[in-house]
């Protein structure tokens, strides 16, 4: 579950009782989507790294034409599966671009 600046206790899942203790109200659907968002973000990061490594290998002349074709198809299928999973969890592309605070956005 990610909190945004405009989240209030009623919609963020966190509420305060009269003793000012924070109580976490866990919504199973929010928890599932939050976990899916995190996992898909990590998978997208790995996919981006694999694409960059593939480009370096291609530009370095380390791959044959057949290997380049196979690598391109594999990366394209990976990207399609990532999009399919993202849509299955009702996540937008921007949802996988985490805000790293002072470091900026992930992608």
Q: pTM to 2 decimals?
A: 0.66
Question: Confidence class of residue 56 from pLDDT cuts 50, 70 and 90?
Answer: very high
Average pLDDT along the chain: 79
3-state secondary structure the chain: CCCCCCCCHHHHCEEECCCCCEEECCCHHHHHHHHHHHHHHHHHHHHHHHHHHHHHHHHCCCCCHHHHHHHHHHHHHHHHHHHHHHHHCCCCHHHHCCECHHHCECC
pLDDT surpassing 70 at residue 102: yes
Query: In which band, very low, low, confident or very high, does the pLDDT at 24 lie, cut at 50, 70 and 90?
Result: low
At 106 the pLDDT is 72
Residue, of 23 and 68, whose pLDDT is higher: 68
């Amino acid at each position: 579950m990610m909190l945004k600046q405009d989240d209030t206790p009623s919609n963020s899942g966190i509420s305060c009782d009269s003793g000012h203790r924070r109580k976490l109200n866990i919504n199973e659907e929010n928890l599932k989507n939050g976990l899916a968002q995190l996992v898909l973000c990590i998978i997208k990061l790995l996919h981006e790294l694999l694409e960059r490594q593939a480009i370096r290998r291609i530009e370095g002349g380390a791959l044959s034409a057949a290997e380049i074709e196979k690598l391109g198809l594999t990366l394209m299928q990976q990207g399609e599966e990532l999009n399919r999973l993202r849509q299955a969890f009702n996540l937008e592309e921007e949802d996988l671009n985490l805000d790293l605070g002072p470091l900026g956005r992930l992608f």
